[in-house]
């Protein structure tokens, strides 16, 4: 069902918090959430509707893009964001509808064969130096503006900014990375009849870059992949009638929420600074998304204790958030990142929804095992926003 036909506006406030990668697995019998001393979260869970959500599907481990799309109610299998677009967002390039974004590697070519796909992982400083030179020497190709931004080590991002809007189909060009060393680079071939123009500009860029880099020992070639344009996605305003903003320290998440039409507020620091900003802008929006990143980072590092401490730190700020008294407070993760696995995982994610219209009394704490006892059950991530809207009385009755 298209939920937008049921939307009714009102003055309720929704605070939507993603504790990135919060779900975990037991080490010595207890998960990160079960180990953390978090009196405020546990107390909130006791009076909230709790449950678990499945980010993409049973057994499927989501990347950050699909993980966030799901909890925001956008089917991650329908809205796939191109790799180039995600990379550009992560590097804080302000993508426009006229852009094609491409992930690039510096690489080493010899006698027509790629001998090192990552140019020996050149230092980031060298990357910045080379990307600056390329930027200066290649401003535009056939009237298309060339935008370059260095990433880490051998990675950089290329944006082709056309004069007219670019449809997703028009960006579909084949990766040039042969994926194995000792093979020649591939041509940026158009993958359909509409992408010939983008392929041609890409080819010219590769040749010009090759000429400029020819005297480099390692980084004497560039490989291009993940050609993509901004997907056409209905905004939060269009889909839900919500004036929404996002509070996130990391550019990637600002980028994702910008795709959905949220106002992306810039903030430096960590949880403290984010919560301060939340309080400051609280009155200006219907929906405020707060993204807490470092819980996931500790999980990815396999740092169980660090992840526990970060959860405890978040807990200490929870009273400042609950004292705002939003009609709906939602707390969950975009996926699980068990320290045991040192990576994102496929496991369901604990979910807590505080509103005046829940049963409560079913979960003793905000943990995986206690949320499994909750009234929400195990739901697809894409159903979370519908529950949030219902609990803020923003959905009309369906049918007579």
Residues in touch with a second copy (CB under 8 A): 1, 6, 25-26, 29, 31, 52, 56-66, 76-77, 80-81, 83, 86-87, 338, 340-341, 343-348, 356-362, 368-369, 372, 375, 377-379, 383, 386-391, 395-400
Residues 6+ apart with CB under 8 A from 218: 106, 108, 116, 119, 120, 122
Q: Within 13 Å of residue 136, how many CA atoms lie on the same side as its CB? A: 7
The answer to whether the CB of 263 falls within 8 A of the CB of 244 is: yes
Q: How far is the CB of 369 from a second copy (least distance, A)?
A: 6
- 321 vs 388, beta carbon nearer a second copy: 388
To the nearest whole angstrom, how small is the minimum distance from the Cβ of residue 93 to a second copy?
15
- For the bound state, the minimum distance from the C-beta of residue 339 to a second copy, rounded and expressed in Å, comes to 12
Distance (Å, whole) CA 115 – CA 227: 23
Q: What b/e sequence results for 240-278 when a residue is b if at least 16 CB atoms lie within 10 Å of its CB, and e otherwise?
A: bbbbbbbbbbbbbbbbbbbbbbbbbbebeeebeebbebb
CA neighbours closer than 13 Å in the CB half-sphere of residue 331: 27
Residue 165 CB neighbour total at 10 angstroms: 13
Instruction: Work out how close the CB of 137 gets to a second copy at its nearest, in angstroms, rounded to a whole number.
Output: 30
Rounded Cα gap, residues 44 and 4, in angstroms: 30
Please tell me the distance from the alpha carbon of residue 184 to that of residue 178, in angstroms, as a whole number: 7
Question: Nearest approach, Cβ of 51 to a second copy (angstroms)?
Answer: 9
Pairwise CA distance, residues 103 & 84, whole Å: 5
Burial of 397 (0-12, 13-18, 19+ CB in 10 A): exposed
* Residue number with CB closer to a second copy (198 or 328): 328
Q: What is the closest distance, in whole angstroms, from the C-beta atom of residue 273 to a second copy in the complex?
A: 27
Neighbours of 284 (CB within 10 A): 11
Side-chain-side CA neighbours of residue 281 (13 Å): 23
- Token duo for residue 65: 């893009």
86 or 230: whose CB is closer to a second copy? 86
Q: Return the H-helix or E-strand segment holding 156.
A: strand 155-161
Dist CA 19 CA 290 (whole Å):
9
Whole-number Å distance between alpha carbons of 35 and 307: 10
- How far apart are CB 206 and a second copy at their closest, in Å? 23
Is residue 46 within 8 A of residue 360, CB to CB? The reply is yes
In contact, 56 and 76? CB cutoff 8 Å: yes
Block residue for tokens 């037991």:
26
Q: Please calculate the CA angle 109-111-115 and round it to the nearest 5 degrees.
A: 35
CB of 77 to a second copy, least distance (A): 6
Least distance from a second copy to the Cβ atom of residue 88, Å: 12
Q: Which is nearer to a second copy, 5 or 323 (CB)?
A: 5
Distance in Å, CB of 347 to a second copy, minimum? 8
């Amino acid at each position: 069902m298209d939920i937008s036909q049921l939307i009714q506006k009102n003055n309720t406030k929704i605070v939507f918090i993603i504790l990135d990668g919060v779900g975990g697995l037991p080490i010595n019998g207890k998960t990160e959430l079960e180990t953390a001393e978090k009196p405020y979260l546990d107390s909130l869970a006791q009076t909230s509707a709790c449950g678990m959500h499945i980010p993409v599907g049973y057994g499927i481990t989501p990347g950050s893009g699909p993980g966030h799309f799901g909890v925001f109610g956008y089917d991650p299998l329908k809205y796939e964001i191109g790799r180039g677009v995600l990379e550009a967002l992560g590097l804080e390039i302000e993508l426009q509808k006229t852009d094609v974004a491409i992930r690039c590697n510096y690489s080493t070519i010899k006698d027509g064969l790629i001998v090192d796909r990552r140019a020996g992982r050149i230092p980031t400083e060298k990357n910045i130096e080379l990307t600056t030179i390329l930027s200066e020497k290649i401003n535009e190709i056939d009237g298309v503006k060339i935008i370059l931004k260095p990433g880490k080590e051998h990675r950089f991002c290329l944006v082709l900014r056309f004069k007219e809007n670019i449809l997703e189909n028009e960006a579909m060009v084949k990766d040039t990375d042969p994926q194995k060393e000792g093979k020649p680079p591939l041509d940026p071939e158009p993958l359909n009849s509409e992408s010939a123009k983008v392929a041609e500009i890409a080819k010219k860029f590769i040749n010009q870059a090759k000429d400029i880099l020819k005297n480099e020992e390692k980084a004497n070639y560039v490989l291009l992949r993940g050609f993509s344009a901004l997907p056409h996605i209905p905004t939060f305003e269009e889909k839900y009638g919500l004036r929404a903003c996002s509070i996130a320290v990391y550019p990637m998440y600002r980028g994702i929420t910008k795709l959905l039409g949220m106002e992306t507020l810039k903030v430096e620091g960590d949880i403290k600074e984010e919560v301060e900003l939340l309080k400051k802008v609280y009155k200006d929006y219907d929906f405020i998304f707060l993204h807490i990143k470092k819980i996931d980072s500790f999980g990815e590092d396999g740092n169980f204790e660090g992840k526990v401490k970060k959860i405890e730190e978040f807990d200490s700020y929870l009273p400042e958030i609950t004292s705002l008294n939003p009609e709906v407070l939602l707390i969950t993760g975009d996926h699980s990142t068990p320290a045991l696995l040192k990576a994102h995982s496929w496991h369901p994610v604990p979910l807590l929804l505080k509103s005046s219209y829940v049963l409560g009394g079913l979960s003793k704490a905000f943990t995986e095992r206690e949320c499994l006892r909750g009234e929400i059950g195990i739901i697809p991530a894409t159903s979370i926003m519908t529950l949030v809207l219902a609990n803020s009385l923003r959905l009309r009755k369906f049918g007579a």
